[in-house]
């Protein structure tokens, strides 16, 4: 079963005292003690980011590891990734992430992992990267569309309620046909795909939502049913 869990924001890096989304990710593995690998490429393999990952996941029933492209743990990245049960991609600069992954062939390794049933997850850049296109601040001075890996159809916009320019920019690019219609997620929301279909949308905050955004004689923003994990 091909699964991707795309976080608009939240998780251990943004809500360290709120474990709901990260526990949800761990629960999607069929293994009782899943092997989970963090890929912090988008942050330039930030030591602080990686330390926060271990600080959270070492307290839970799993086997955490990470993959640095600046200090690779092995030459055989494919075997390293395909031994995992879950791959969790961190946030940061999506453009740099894509360039480095393609240079190392990690984009193809991750597609193979997805096709073999390894759960793929990620936040912000680690959410955008799986779609055909995403709205990114990778270029520094403004938000722009970016072509991504295309595992999932359409476009993606994280931080929909967390950054003031996200919602209007995403809608304007869709209206101008500069980015494909797609799905936007507030901070604290995870969109769980099985294959190309949205299986479930969950949140770590009661009021956080996801939206389908498209254009037909005007911008259409449709709120999608979202399950608050704190009420489960």
Q: Catalytic residue at 66?
A: no
Catalytic residue among 43, 66, 159, 203: 159
CB 71 within 8 A of CB 45: yes
- DSSP string across 175-196: HTTSS--EEEE-TTEEEEEETT
Q: Rounded CA gap, 75 and 117, in Å?
A: 23
How far CA 227 is from CA of 20, 166, 209, in Å, comes to 12, 23, 9
How far CA 191 is from CA of 35, 60, 121, 140, 210, in Å, comes to 21, 22, 10, 26, 8
Nearest in space to 111 (alpha carbons), one of 123, 128, 129, 99: 129
Q: Catalytic residue at 159?
A: yes
Catalytic residue among 13, 29, 43, 124: 124
Q: Give the burial class of 197: count Cβ atoms within 10 A of its Cβ; 0-12 exposed, 13-18 middle, 19 or more buried.
A: exposed
- Say whether 69 sits in a helix, a strand or coil: coil
- Please identify which residue in the block is written with the tokens 């092997």: 35
**CA angle centred on 210, ends 147 and 141, rounded to 5°:** 45
How far CA 31 is from CA of 26, 27, 82, 88, 174, in Å, comes to 9, 9, 15, 16, 40
Indicate which residues carry an active-site annotation. 124, 159
């Amino acid at each position: 079963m091909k699964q991707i869990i795309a976080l608009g924001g939240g998780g251990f890096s943004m809500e360290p005292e709120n474990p709901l989304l990260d526990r949800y990710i761990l629960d999607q593995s069929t293994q009782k003690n899943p092997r989970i690998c963090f890929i912090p490429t988008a942050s330039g393999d930030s030591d602080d980011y990686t330390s926060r990952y271990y600080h959270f996941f070492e307290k839970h029933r799993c086997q955490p590891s990470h993959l640095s492209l600046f200090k690779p743990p092995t030459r055989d990245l494919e075997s390293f990734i395909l031994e995992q049960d879950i791959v969790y991609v961190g946030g940061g600069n999506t453009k740099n992430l894509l360039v480095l992954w393609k240079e190392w062939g990690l984009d193809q390794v991750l597609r193979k992992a997805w096709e073999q049933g390894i759960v793929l997850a990620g936040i912000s850049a680690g959410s955008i990267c799986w779609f055909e296109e995403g709205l990114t601040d990778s270029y520094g001075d403004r938000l722009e569309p970016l072509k991504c890996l295309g595992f999932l159809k359409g476009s993606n916009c994280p931080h929909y309620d967390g950054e003031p320019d996200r919602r209007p920019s995403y809608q304007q690019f869709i209206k101008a046909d500069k980015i494909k219609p797609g799905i936007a997620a507030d901070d604290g929301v995870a969109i769980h795909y099985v294959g190309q279909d949205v299986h479930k949308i969950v949140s770590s905050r009661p009021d956080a939502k996801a939206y389908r955004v498209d254009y037909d004689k005007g911008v259409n923003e449709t709120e999608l049913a979202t399950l608050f994990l704190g009420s489960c």
